[in-house]
Every structure is written in structure tokens, then in C-alpha cells.
Amino acid sequence: MINRELSWLSFNERVLQEAENPDVPLIERFRFLGIYSDNMDEFFRVRVSTVRRMLALKKNKVQSYKIEGFDGDASKLLEEIRKKVIRQQTHFELCYENLIGELEKKGVFQLREDNLIEAKKDELHSYFHTDLKHVIVPIILKSNSFVPKLRDKSIYLAVKMHTEKKPLYALVEIPPHYPRFYHFKSSGEGKKQYFILIDDIIRLNLDSIFSIFEYKQIEAYTFKFTRDAELDLDDDLSVSFVEKIEKSLKNRKKGQPVRFVYDQLMPIDLQHFLVKSLNLTGGNAIPGGRYHNFKDFSRFPDFGKPELVFPEQAPLTHPDLDHKGSLMKTILEKDVLLHFPYQSFDHVVDVLREAAIDPWVRSIKINVYRVAKDSRILNALMNAVSNGKEVVVFFELQARFDEENNITWAERLKEHGARVIYGFNDLKVHSKLFQINRFYKNQEQDITYVGTGNFHEKTARVYSDLGLLTSKDSIGHEVKKVFRLLENSLERGMYKELIVSPFNSRRKLYALIRQEVLLAKNGRPGLIQIKVNNLVDAAVIEKLYHASKAGVKIQLIVRGVCCLVPGLKGKSENIEVISIVGRFLEHTRFFIFNNDGKKKYYLTSADLMERNLDKRIEVGVPVLDEQLKDEVQAVFDMQWRDNQKARIIDKKQKNKFRKTEGRSHNSQEELYTYYRNKENKG
């Protein structure tokens, strides 16, 4: 197996490839640098922190395959991670410099504090004194002074003042709630445009910030650091689960530093002083370039140049839901499959809005993992409460980095009169469900939604996900059991149609794989097609290896971490794996099993990881409508023939682009065309 952490770094390298790809619009390439940087922050906050904890607990054996002397020891894994990160960091900095050069060819120039003409200096001095000065609070560092806990989401300037005696050191936090980019006013169409980072505006005004000190020279260097983001939930039975989460969120801000990224031009004395003052270790230090926190580059301005960004692709309407009548009536007549971001997430919101005012609706139940801060989904539910409906909302409070937003929304819904249920200490609820219960002419009707992604309007514009709307009794009855499970402290149910973790996922998945093995052994074509975000679980991987050896053809599309090694002689020769990284974040999860020609299709919220199969509540749903089965197959087929954004996953993790003969195929572009044609025919 490939080590999980190293496979993740390989995935983030695929994101970096998009920043380097000349076929990607120029401004979007800057934004891919932002995505790469944000991903890396989370990697250190979560995965590297976990390995460090393992090392501290002396549980220092990490599942891995042996490469370049790495034998699975946690300390050696950390060193291997460090080497790969530094190598990627160098690659990253070169990519940024190249992109700046490309931007100059388009008439847009980045300025720094040391290459400004007087007029632009005057403009920036004015901006600084009007907008920035009063939110900047410098911290003077002394060897024996207390250094406050710094925020790991912020960027800091480490300041060195050269005096007649010992140098003086200080810190300046770059204000997090101000735009990172200052765009100079340009005069006339076609004129050159200029921008500067807020970091350099502050550098320009250091004399103003530190005017009370006497020094011969002053200089500043960017740095940032990342803290352990794990929540430590204690076993105190006297406090509620919400209180435990709130306490842990406060402690997260004091977590141990796991990474210190600094400008490699920073003087060695300043670097050592920071490492000592901030209680860091040399092993945490990663040299980098002049600028950090590139996640802000996810919002890199377009400078009014539409040709440098992706062409507009407005979400399409679903042909079955594109009318002024009742959406629920349509779903009562036929199943509807939605595919975001190609199709509009507004359809989901509109179904709930309709349910909120429908006089026949009695209740709405939903489980929430992540939602937008201004969620229209939850606003629709509050409207339902106002209209006398019973509304039950199950909130997962341990949705990493969304805990505070979920607590805030939970309190709002409770105040509005909804029944709010919180998660469990040791079992996350990651399923994506809602159910509308309706009584019409003495007949009970359930409209059920099972999806692969969150009820989040903003991410639904960039994450690809599938959602099934159905009124089928066989599915609705079992989803009812899942909600009873959530409401009644894990009341276990039996599931014939659904795949529900942690109760029957392994058993059902293994049985589906075993069926393909039996077919292959009897000379029948065995075929497994899977699309997930991550494939990590060792037992599932062994089942797939066994199926491959039996002659089952296995095609896997894995966006992120893939610990399975395809193409090994005598083990995985019948397994191919690709990863697609493009304009949209591939987030759909589904399974296809040939089943002797009577194919079975399942959408699921679960990745193939131990946590998803054994330690979370996840729900997979069969696609029973024949037309929708064809649609899921079409989605897989389009992605499998991708030869523009697909990379080959193999043991060497080189991320080579997949090349095939014939015409080019960009699956994300083809999917948009596929759904646009459906819309037009509808």
C-alpha cells in the first residue's frame, strides 16, 4: 500500500499542476495556487498533527510501503513529508514567479514597496493612514517577554530594526479582514494595470508604525505557522456535548505549532529568535518565498479581463423541475437525479421552500454536516416552523472547521422552534439526507433526498455532487429508520436497500465485490467501477486485489488519497486508477457493479476509508430508475475517457497526464454540454 500522507501530497501536487498548466486561464492558475496553499494548511493542521501525536504516544509505526529507506517509522515519515513539502514549496515559488511574468505580458504588473514612483507611494500612504493604521497593533519582542498566542490563519511580518546596539525585533499581523490585493486605479481602456499586496503596503509604512524608535534600518519578512487542529473532547459527564465542542474550539487556538513557514531571506538571527520565542522547533521550519497565505489567491482579482478566467457556466435547470407547478408532485411521479454544479442547487432549496408552505406537509427532517453562513436551506426550514410544520434538524458539531457555524445555526433554529439534535462523541454523522413527510387525502407520502455532498449553496457551485430525490416507499421507509437512529440514540435498524455505516457497509460492499469474483471465476465478465474522493481502507483494498487476481476488471476514479497500488504483477494487474483535477472539485461518490449484466448502482456519502465505514453514519442509496442508471453510467464513462484532466495513479506517484488516441476529452466540459442538451430537450 501507498502511505496515506504521501499519497495526499501527491494529490496536492496535481492541484499545483493546474497552476502550471498553460491551457488553464491565467487568473485561474493563480487561484489554483490559492487552493494548493489552503489544502496544505489543512494537511498540516490535521494529518501532520496526527502523525506527531502518534510519535508523542510512541505509537510510531505508520502503515506504508518502503521507499528510499522509509520503513514506516513515524519520525522518518515526518522527515519524508518535510522533504516533499520543501520540494513542492520550491516548485510553488517558481510557478508564482512564472505566472507574474505571464501576467505582465497581459498588461498587469505587480509592484513592491521598493519599486514605486512617488505618486503611487502617496496613494498608498493615504490608504494606509485612512484604512490600515488603526487596525495594526505591533508586538515588540524581547528575549524575556511574553509572546501572545498567534493565530494560525493569519500572516505576520517579522520586523528587524537595526540600532547602534542590539537589534530590536517586532511582529505585525497583516489585517485578516482587509483585501489582500490593492488594485491601483487605471486610466483608460488598454492601459497598464498595477496591483500590490497589503504585505508590501505595510512594509512601505514601517517608519510610520515604529516612529518612536531610533534605528538605522528597518526590514520585514513574512512568516506564518500552523497549529494542531484536533479537537480534544474530555470525558466530563457534567457538561453538554455543545460545551465540550466550544471548549475544544478555544483550545484549538492554543494548539501546538506543527509548521513554521518563513521567507528564506529572513536573517538567521531573526529566524532563531522567532523559533525560540514562539516555542517552535527547527524541524517545523519550512523555508519559502516573500509571500505566504496564498489561500487568499483563491480570490485573485480578474482586473476586468474576462479572457483570463474560466468562461461563465451558469448552473442549468433540471428539465423535470423546470416549471411553475409543484416540484413535490413531480418527485411523487418519478425519481429525479441532480448533478451539481452542472445543474442548479436551487432545486433542492425550492423543494424545501415548497414543503414549508404546503398545507399537506406535516414534518421535515434533515441532517446537517456543513452549511453556508447565510444558508437558504436552513432559512427555508425556519419558514416551515413558522408555518406550523414539525422540523427536526440533526447537527454534526464535529464537522472540522465548521463547528462554530453549526453551533450558531443550531441555536438560531432552536430559538425559532425547530427541534435540534446534536451528534455523538465518538461517531460523526456524515450522511446527506432530508425527508419530507406529507399526508394527502389520507395517504402518507415521503419525499426523500439522499446525496453525496453537503447542503451548502456556495460549495455546490464548485463541488461536483449527485443528489437523488425519490418518493419510493422502499427507500423512504429505510431513511425513516436512519432518522429514528439519530433521534433515539442509535436505535439500530435493518436495511435491505440502503448501505448504512457503521452497520452494513462492509458486509454489503464485500458481498457486491464477491459476486463479481464469482462471475469472473465462472467465465462471466466481472466489472467494478468506483468513483470516490479517497481510497484508504486496507481491508477494502485487499478485497479489490483479490477480485483483480480472480479476473475482475476494476476501474477506479479517485480524486485524492489512493493507497491502493494498481498494476502490480500477480496482484492488481486488472486495476486501473485515474484522478481528475480540474475546474470543479470532484466530490461525487458512487459504485457500479456489473452483476452479470444487471448492473447495480449506488450513490453514497462515504469514501472508502475506515472512518467512513466503521466510525461514521453514512448512507448509500441504490439508483432504481432505469433512466437514472443510464445517467450515472454516462457520468462514469465520460470521466473514464477523460484525457485532458485525468492523471494516472501508480506506485511511483508521478501524476502523469493520461493520454489516449483520438479526440480530446475534458470530462467536466463534456458533462456541462451533456446536461445543457438535456435541458434543451426538456
Q: Give the catalytic positions in this structure.
A: 430
Nearest to 665, CA basis, from 639, 647, 631, 632? 639
Bridge partner residues of 110 (DSSP): 195
Bridge partner residues of 172 (DSSP): 157
Q: Are 329 and 320 contacting, i.e. CB atoms less than 8 angstroms apart?
A: no
Nearest to 550, CA basis, from 522, 529, 511? 522
User: In Å, what is the CA distance from 663 to each residue of 17, 635, 643, 658?
Assistant: 22, 18, 9, 13
DSSP letter at 423? -
Location of C-alpha cell 464485500: 510
Question: Cα-flanking dihedrals φ and ψ of residue 513, to 5°?
Answer: -65, -45
Q: Is the peptide bond before 341 cis (omega within 30 degrees of 0)?
A: yes
Annotate 324-364 with DSSP letters as a single string.
SS-HHHHHHHS-EEEEETTB-THHHHHHHHHHHH-TTEEEE
Q: Is 76 helix (H, G, I), strand (E, B) or coil?
A: helix
Location of C-alpha cell 547602534: 164
Give start and end residues of each alpha helix (H) in 253-326: 268-277
Grid cell at residue 170 = 517586532
**What's the chain's length in residues?**
682
**Amino acid identity of 178?**
Y
For residue 12, give every residue at least 6 positions away whose Cβ sits within 8 Å of its Cβ, in sequence order, or none: 36, 39, 40, 43, 88
CA 580/CA 142 separation, integer angstroms: 50
Pairing of β 139-141 and β 217-227? unpaired
Q: Are 528 and 505 contacting, i.e. CB atoms less than 8 angstroms apart?
A: no
User: In Å, what is the CA distance from 291 to each residue of 83, 87, 157, 171?
Assistant: 20, 17, 10, 16
Question: Cα-flanking dihedrals φ and ψ of residue 192, to 5°?
Answer: -65, 145
Bridge partner residues of 447 (DSSP): 436
Location of C-alpha cell 476488471: 553
For residue 562, give every residue at least 6 positions away whose Cβ sits within 8 Å of its Cβ, in sequence order, or none: 2, 7, 534, 535, 556, 577, 579, 649
CA 551/CA 521 separation, integer angstroms: 7
- Classify 6 in phi/psi space as left (phi over 0), alpha (psi -120 to 50) or beta: alpha
CB atoms inside a 10 Å sphere around CB 485: 18
CA 603/CA 113 separation, integer angstroms: 53
